[in-house]
Structure 1
């Protein structure tokens, strides 16, 4: 049996090229603003698990500042892992205090239902400087974050790679 093809059903070379060009343009625009990342490790348990796929907006913080509770991916060449994912806990001007394993922001005790377990950490007190954020993993007892001298506060312009917008 031989099938007949109508003119309207024929795919021309021109149509194929148009489809490819439009696809490349759409992909290019997508990659200008978004990236896909994979969680490695457990520092954000119970919110994010090892292997979770993340959609990041990589241009948002060029137009606005990070907000309290944003989940961000940080790029640091000086760490054993180049990219880390953390939650913004303190923004510029905030006084962050950890006392007796409790977190206070601007002297207000913070209730955190998203953390994995009760935090066991050293006391700490600092004021977040301009253009910086204080970040912590949700799995507080197994997270290297702004509490450590190795990470410290994060520069919004040079160290935040993107905001997690979808898991």
Structure 2
């Protein structure tokens, strides 16, 4: 085999390995998202396929918004508002049990938020098609934890969440 042919064979082998790794990673991600959706259905009363989560990071924390995909879907809007009202009260007490149930106790940022909840101001507000929670803190470590927590949710919720 010539040097050129050997290099070509090596390149093809490397590309096949990279492609296989990408497929395995995508499959694992899809499997995790399906598990999260199933667990989410046990905790969140609204329909994930009819709603969208948005997690917007900012310098003081971030904003979590959940909206009905159909702005005329009064049932989904009511369920979103009920759920985020409950979550706001729980998070204000340091109870992050629902996210732990859905995403797992090792979810990035979760331990820090549970410990530092007293240093986070949480504000609930209704939107025309759902509701939002605004997380604000002056503690840089908690901002980092909120950003990690938001990132994990976007990853885990897949098509049901955006930045």
Q: Same fold (TM over 0.5)?
A: no
Normalised by the length of structure 1, the TM-score is 0.29
Normalised by the length of structure 2, the TM-score is 0.30
Structure number with the higher helix fraction is: 2
Instruction: Choose 1 or 2 for highest CA Rg.
Output: 1
Structure number with the higher strand fraction is: 1
